[in-house]
Structure 1
């Protein structure tokens, strides 16, 4: 029994020496954990910011597509007026068109912005109309090709979409 007491005293005397040798290891583990969590936090922040930017590009892409569709609709409505028989050629459009020297092609450029449509502010379109006639052996068939490019400015980036429609005169 006395022997055990002396052994336990020697263990007690050795423990403070071992604790002195291990004092810096807790600090090293704490610094390691802080660095790992900082890197994890930085990657999560980076992931969220790239997700936000991709959602913004997608939203402005849909707006640019709607602007391009508006250009196609404007030209198509002028070529095929409601309540009139037949259709017009691209050169006869009732809309202000810029002749750019290409035969049978007219270019319609919208206002710089859609100021009255809240979802399309900062967007614009450029539409072109090309028409041609094909003879199928029996009659002449008149065709139209309408191309419209919608663009939206989103500050740090621009997004554009192109819509192309082909139509046949009745």
Structure 2
């Protein structure tokens, strides 16, 4: 039986092709890896913004409830006068660290004697760290609630 020897010329032409293939595969894998890192980073930023937005809504709600309680105290037949604008630092409340609520109250026209109408606006602000005017690179969110109320 006779074996044919491959020509040395064809071996010379194929030298380095495996190196080029390995280099191509490495570049493709690096591009896929960097795209995955970018997607994960964007996803975590979105989740952080959503969580801080929910905390801002809860801060606005807490400020609103506190201001409504000042205006309509329990076991008192008549509401109090519209309380002054007030800012609540909610950092001491579990889950509302770095959160503030600013609440305003406006009393407006009463169509019938003895009836009082109020408009409360509460803005909750939360951040991923302390909110300063010089803060850079923190996630910050704000939510606003409006409630209209009247005495019974």
Q: Which has the higher helix share?
A: 1
CA-atom RMSD in angstroms: 1.6
After TM superposition, give the deviation of residue 60 of structure 1 in Å. 0.9
Mapped partners of 1:13, 1:35: distance in 2 = 33
Mapped partners of 2:6, 2:74: distance in 1 = 104
Structure 1 residues 11-50: aligned runs within 5 Å: 12-14=5-7, 16-50=8-42
Pick closer, same or farther for the CA change 1:150–1:13 going to 2, 3 Å: closer
Query: TM-score, normalised on structure 1?
Result: 0.78
2:97 maps to 1:121? yes
After TM superposition, give the deviation of residue 118 of structure 1 in Å. 2.3
Mapped partners of 1:78, 1:118: distance in 2 = 22
2:150 maps to 1:168? yes
Equivalent position of 2:61 in the other structure = 69
Query: TM-score, normalised on structure 2?
Result: 0.86
Pick closer, same or farther for the CA change 1:55–1:13 going to 2, 3 Å: closer
Q: Which has the larger radius of gyration?
A: 1
The unaligned stretches of length 5 or more in structure 2 are 130-137
Mapped partners of 2:149, 2:77: distance in 1 = 16
| SS of the residue 2:80 aligns to | coil
User: Contact 2:59/2:101 (CA < 8 Å) preserved in 1?
Assistant: yes
Equivalent position of 2:120 in the other structure = 146
The unaligned stretches of length 5 or more in structure 1 are 98-106
Mapped partners of 1:42, 1:26: distance in 2 = 24
